[in-house]
Amino acid sequence: MYNNPMTGPMVPLRKRIGVRIINLLIAAGGKHLPPHRNRVFSRIVMKIAAPFIKRGMRVVRQNLNTAFDGKPPFKLVPFYERVLANFSRAVFDLIYASWHWTACVPELFDEEELDAALNHADRIRAENGGVLVVSGHIGSWELLGAALALRMDTKAVARSIAFAPYNDAVMDVRSRLGYGIFFQDDPITQMAKHVRSGGLLGLIADQDIAHNAGIFVPFFGVEAYTPTGPAALSMLAKAPILPIFCIYEGGRYRLKIFDPIFPPERRSEESIYEITVKWQAAVEEAVRRWPDQWAWFHKRWKTRPQGKKEGE
């Protein structure tokens, strides 16, 4: 590790190497190769990398066993390689799109289908004076934000990455894709104000993050620690939650829109639970329909209810 006044006193070597790798990938392909060539390049990169990412495979195995009661319907290694390949493709497409966004929309999406999806989402937003979109780490969640911003005043809630070069790179990509950011520690009232003014607020809320306010709700039949922020914001802004997922299917990204979830008039612990169960069920359905596009390498069941161990 070394001292760097721009990024903190001690930066691990692996993070410096990570930044170098990201820069090399951008220079080698992401920024310049169109999507159809990026996909070939990304498959090659992930095929080479997969054997070296053993920790990720262990987490995927554990998650699959938890989700499918020890009997996952996939063979681990081929499934893991598909997960990595889909993730890699989404990263390379994102890098390319961030430099050529409006010009490359026809390459990434079926324009007629995208227009219909955006009309549907915008109609729900207009009818309710604003909307919250909840999605997950599935398909391309960053391109989801960019697509929604083509039609609506879109902001997303995101974590600030502690390592400054990573954070700067991600924020640069998002700014070029045309949507704004609230950080998780920004006042919730500001987020609700954006929604009440007719805006769209996006939340990617499918991970187990212990320092966020949350509750346990079923996910694949197993209690999973899940953030209550979407439900709290929905009731504060008096706006529905609209689950949307940006899925790669048939050579294009497609917006899959689920039924809106409307908040009750009165806030209570029961209503927070009910709303959270409903949008989490939408995430589960998306993962079941497109399993190899979800980030299985996150420890989704890490935090456990008192008296239970991980995987129970």
Q: Cβ(138)–Cβ(290) under 8 Å?
A: yes
Q: Cβ(122)–Cβ(152) under 8 Å?
A: yes
Cα–Cα distance for residue pair 191/237, rounded to 1 Å: 8
Cα–Cα distance for residue pair 157/186, rounded to 1 Å: 9
Cα–Cα distance for residue pair 123/131, rounded to 1 Å: 10
Cα–Cα distance for residue pair 27/21, rounded to 1 Å: 10
Q: Is the pLDDT of residue 115 over 90?
A: yes
Please state the rounded mean pLDDT for residues 109-115. 97
Q: Give the model's pLDDT for residue 57.
A: 87
Please state the rounded mean pLDDT for residues 72-86. 90
Q: Is the pLDDT of residue 33 over 90?
A: no
Q: Which of 67-76, 194-203, 267-276 has the highest mean pLDDT?
A: 194-203
Q: Is the pLDDT of residue 7 over 70?
A: no
Q: Which one-letter amino acid corresponds to residue 200?
A: L
Q: Is the pLDDT of residue 43 over 90?
A: no
Please give the C-alpha separations between residue 275 and each of 39, 102, 134, 135, in angstroms, as whole numbers.
Answer: 37, 35, 12, 14
Please give the C-alpha separations between residue 282 and each of 96, 108, 170, 225, in angstroms, as whole numbers.
Answer: 29, 24, 27, 16
Cα–Cα distance for residue pair 207/167, rounded to 1 Å: 19
Neighbour tally for 204: CB within 10 Å: 20
Considering only CA atoms, which of 138, 83, 107 is closest in space to residue 35? 107
Q: Is the pLDDT of residue 18 over 70?
A: no
Cα–Cα distance for residue pair 114/150, rounded to 1 Å: 10
DSSP state of 292: G
Q: Which one-letter amino acid corresponds to residue 65?
A: N
Q: Which residue has the tokens 């909840």?
A: 134
Q: Which residue has the tokens 């070939």?
A: 40
As given in the structure block, the two tokens for residue 210 are 């212990």
Cα–Cα distance for residue pair 83/297, rounded to 1 Å: 9
> Which tens digit of pLDDT belongs to each residue from 181-236?
999 889 999 999 999 999 999 999 999 988 889 999 999 999 999 999 999 999 99
Cα–Cα distance for residue pair 204/137, rounded to 1 Å: 7
**Residue 1 C-alpha from the chain's centroid:** 31
The angle, 0 to 180 degrees and rounded to 10, between the axes of the packed helices 54-67 and 76-108 is 100
**Range scoring the smallest mean pLDDT among 87-91, 114-118, 141-145, 297-301:** 87-91
